[in-house]
Amino acid sequence: MNTLQMCLVLSSLLFGIGLAAALARSSAILVLLGIELMLNAANLNFIAFWRFGPAPEAGTGVLFVLFAIAVAAAEAAVGLALAIALYRHQRTIRLQEATRLKG
């Protein structure tokens, strides 16, 4: 197993941890953190392929990671603003209680 494959296994394990956290936890903030972790795992993947793949001088991997970091930060800010707005309505951020629109 060469180094690239080790990096890919690392990023897939990180993705799995993020996915499990997003599915299992019931606090809106922890779910958002799981999603952030999944985004980070994908970024890891990009950097691994940039490092070991052909033509790293083109810098595409690094540029994509920069944009992904910026977008993930914006999404974290908006998601947490949503969590605060949710808290204002129901005084708790347990996602199981957000059932107002349920049929």
Partner 1 sequence: MNLALIILGLVILGSAATALSIRNIVRSVLLLVASWFGIAAFYLWAGAEFAAFAQALVYGGAVSMVVLFAVLLTRRGHLDVPVPPPPPGRLLWAIVAGGAVAGIIAAAAIRTPFESLNNEAPSLPVRKLGALLMGPQAAALLVTGVLLTAALLGAVVIAAGAKDDKEGAP
Is the Cβ–Cβ distance between 50 and 66 less than 8 Å?
A: no
Select 76 or 103, whichever has its Cβ closest to partner 1. 76
CB of 102 to partner 1, least distance (A): 18
Q: How far apart are CA 86 and CA 92, in angstroms?
A: 8
CB of 96 to partner 1, least distance (A): 10
Q: How far apart are CA 8 and CA 29, in angstroms?
A: 27
Select 23 or 101, whichever has its Cβ closest to partner 1. 23
CB of 101 to partner 1, least distance (A): 18
